[in-house]
């Protein structure tokens, strides 16, 4: 379950920001996750709850914002919404599709004290 390591990385980012900016408690974390990021959201929520125990983010609410997938065809250069990896281009049917968005994850915002 790679979601635990993702949650640990998120906590490290949050703690680093806390040291740099001087906050001592995180109330809410807004997290953007791409539709194509291959992250199981419920597993990530569970992992986040586990790894934040005893930290500045203990009991923080995790708000997940899902971002849409985007792709670009290598043959006809058409950009289009991508709902799954390895989808063909809707314009020409080619499978030479580059993912251009919706495959990442980032901490977008923190509500802190």
Q: What pLDDT, in 10s, does the model give residues 37-82?
A: 999 999 999 999 999 999 999 999 999 999 999 999 999 999 999 9
CATH assignment, 3-112 = 3.30.2320.80
3-state secondary structure of 66: strand
Query: For 52, what's the count of Cα atoms within 13 Å in the CB-facing half-sphere?
Result: 25
Q: Provide the whole-model pTM.
A: 0.86
- Which residues share a beta bridge with 99? 71
């Amino acid at each position: 379950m790679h979601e635990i390591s993702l949650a640990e990385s998120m906590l490290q980012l949050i703690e680093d920001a806390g040291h740099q900016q001087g906050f001592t408690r995180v109330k809410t974390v807004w997290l953007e996750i791409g539709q194509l990021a291959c992250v199981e959201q419920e597993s990530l929520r569970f992992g986040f709850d586990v790894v934040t125990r005893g930290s500045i983010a203990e009991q923080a609410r995790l708000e997940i914002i899902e971002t849409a997938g985007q792709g670009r065809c290598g043959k006809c250069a058409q950009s289009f919404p991508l709902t799954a990896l390895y989808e063909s281009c809707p314009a020409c049917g080619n499978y030479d599709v580059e993912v251009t968005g919706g495959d990442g994850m980032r901490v977008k915002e923190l509500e802190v004290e």
